[in-house]
Amino acid sequence: MTAPPVGIERRAGQRFPYLLPLSVRQPGTSLEGVGFTQDLSSRGVFFFTSAALTEGSEIELTLRMPSEITLGESMPVRCRGHILRVVRPASSSDSSAEPKIGVAVRLEGYEYLSESAQSSAFPKVSALHSQHEHEDDQPLAHSSTRSMLG
């Protein structure tokens, strides 16, 4: 009896586990959204979003690429690629949280952005949370924040 074959890593670039905010845009459509990465390499990214993305579609992502990938300074980058896989969430009994889908993208091109362009291209972290979090008697981390990160 032989053991099952060991899984072979098919990724060409080293993948780094980063939780980074990103903006999502589907060229040729009005579809835009925000999300956050789970992991990232020079050739691909896996991220979570509530945007209605579909497998095989062209996609444009804007994020701050870390220095481990740029091999220099971390910098804002607009990436173009194609969606390889969309992972739908299992149905949840928590209807208050927006469902997030997992999206795997093969990156095919990069455009380095200036720091000033970066500030308008990225969602403000406060825009990802409800406006009620700024009241003095409320803690900063609400369940919506925890559900987004976990």
- The model's pLDDT over 74-121, given as tens digits with 9 standing for 90+, comes to 999 999 999 999 998 876 555 556 779 999 999 999 898 987 654 554
The band of 128, judged by pLDDT with boundaries at 50, 70 and 90, is very low
Tell me the pLDDT of the chain averaged across its residues.
76
Q: What is the pLDDT of residue 94?
A: 56
The band of 138, judged by pLDDT with boundaries at 50, 70 and 90, is very low
pLDDT tens readout for residues 17-60: 999 999 999 999 999 999 999 999 989 999 999 999 999 999 99
Alpha-carbon gap, residue 41 to 65, rounded angstroms: 9
Residue 55, φ and ψ in degrees, nearest 5: -60, 140
